[in-house]
């Protein structure tokens, strides 16, 4: 799993070059057997839920699998103001005429794309209900405003993600929704893989990348002190990018890891203590 940055932030391409298609593939390191499981679900047309903490690679995994399967990907970032019409579509006034404009979900259903609803628990409960007929044997989208029912393209697949760490009574998936999906669980990669990801995506040397990963491991183990979420791989890559551009290691970690994780002064002091313990007096910028 990883998060691809602009080309000038990355070192030379080291992925296998098997032709133009592979050269453009999103960079992804598998953790377990998520690739064959997703492929099996896709070929069986089973909707998929991706569960895992923030910044562990769920979105990158979907991008990678869409490329691997040769399917277009339509992504929707869910939020509390997301209405069903935002997904399905609406009538708009265009040149003094009222015309129908398909929403992203409808476009995916018609064209056979993979539709990815990111952080679905953030969406309104009455909005997520519209996907139910698409996630069972009917594979149908109902457009009430047009009086139309669309049978999903044979290649269409519904994928959603959420972070179980944010679950609460108010923000959780109904069982009527959860039990329409097969589920893949994501965690942060093992230290060796995560260091390889940070190094590759930021251009940082492997030794410093591994130290960032070890620091993240310590941070992820202090949740009992009030930290609601551990340091994501994404934040480690951000820190690596700053280090590569001449910012000191401590300042890079403070800016890219400590401050984004918490506003609590005492917790920030704890994080800074961990950073100082990891890097000591070594604050000399990139190696």
pLDDT in the model for residue 94: 84
* Strands 148-151 and 73-77, sheet pairing: unpaired
**What is the strand order of the sheet 182-185 is part of?**
73-77, 114-118, 157-162, 48-51, 182-185
> What's CA 11's distance to the chain center, in Å?
23
pLDDT in the model for residue 8: 40
Q: What is the pLDDT along the chain (287 residues), one digit of tens a residue?
A: 444 443 344 433 333 333 334 557 899 999 889 999 999 999 999 999 999 988 889 999 999 999 999 999 999 999 989 999 999 999 998 888 899 999 999 999 999 999 999 999 888 877 888 999 999 999 999 999 999 999 999 999 999 998 886 654 456 778 888 899 999 999 999 999 999 999 999 999 999 999 999 999 999 888 656 677 889 999 999 999 999 999 999 999 999 999 999 888 888 898 999 999 988 754 444 44
pLDDT in the model for residue 170: 52
pTM, entire model: 0.82
Q: Enumerate residues 6+ apart whose C-beta is below 8 A from 153.
A: 109, 110, 111, 112
Burial tier of 166 (Cβ tally within 10 Å: 0-12, 13-18, 19+): middle
pLDDT in the model for residue 223: 66
Q: Enumerate residues 6+ apart whose C-beta is below 8 A from 130.
A: 84, 87, 88, 105, 141, 142
Instruction: Give me 38's structure tokens.
Output: 């997703």
Alpha carbons 240 and 104: distance in angstroms, whole number: 35
> What's CA 17's distance to the chain center, in Å?
25
pLDDT in the model for residue 24: 76
Under a CB-based contact definition with an 8 Å cutoff, are residues 240 and 206 in contact? no
Q: How far apart are the first and last CA of the chain?
A: 25
């Amino acid at each position: 799993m990883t998060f691809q940055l602009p080309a000038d932030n990355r070192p030379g391409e080291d992925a296998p070059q098997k032709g133009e298609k592979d050269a453009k593939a999103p960079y992804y390191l598998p953790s377990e057997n998520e690739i064959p499981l997703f492929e099996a679900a896709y070929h069986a047309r089973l909707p998929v839920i991706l569960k895992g903490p923030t910044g562990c690679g769920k979105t990158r995994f979907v991008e990678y699998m869409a490329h691997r399967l040769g399917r277009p990907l339509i992504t929707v970032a869910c939020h509390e103001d997301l209405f069903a019409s935002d997904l399905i579509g609406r009538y708009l006034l265009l040149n003094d005429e009222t015309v129908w404009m398909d929403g992203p979900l409808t476009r995916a259903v018609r064209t056979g794309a993979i539709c990815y609803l990111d952080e679905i628990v953030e969406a309104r409960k009455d909005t997520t209900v519209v996907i139910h007929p698409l996630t069972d044997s009917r594979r149908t989208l109902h457009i009430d405003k047009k009086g139309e029912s669309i049978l999903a393209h044979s290649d269409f697949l519904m994928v959603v993600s959420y972070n179980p760490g944010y679950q609460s009574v108010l923000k959780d998936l109904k069982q009527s929704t959860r039990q329409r999906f097969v589920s893949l669980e994501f965690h942060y990669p093992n230290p060796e893989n995560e260091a390889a990801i940070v190094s590759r995506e930021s251009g940082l040397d492997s030794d410093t990348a591994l130290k960032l990963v070890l620091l993240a491991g310590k941070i992820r183990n202090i949740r009992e002190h009030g930290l609601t979420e551990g340091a994501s791989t994404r934040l480690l890559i951000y820190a690596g990018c700053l280090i590569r551009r001449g910012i000191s290691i401590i300042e890079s970690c403070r800016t890219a890891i400590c401050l984004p994780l918490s506003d609590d002064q005492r917790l920030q002091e704890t994080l800074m203590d961990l950073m100082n313990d990891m890097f000591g007096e070594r604050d000399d910028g990139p190696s």
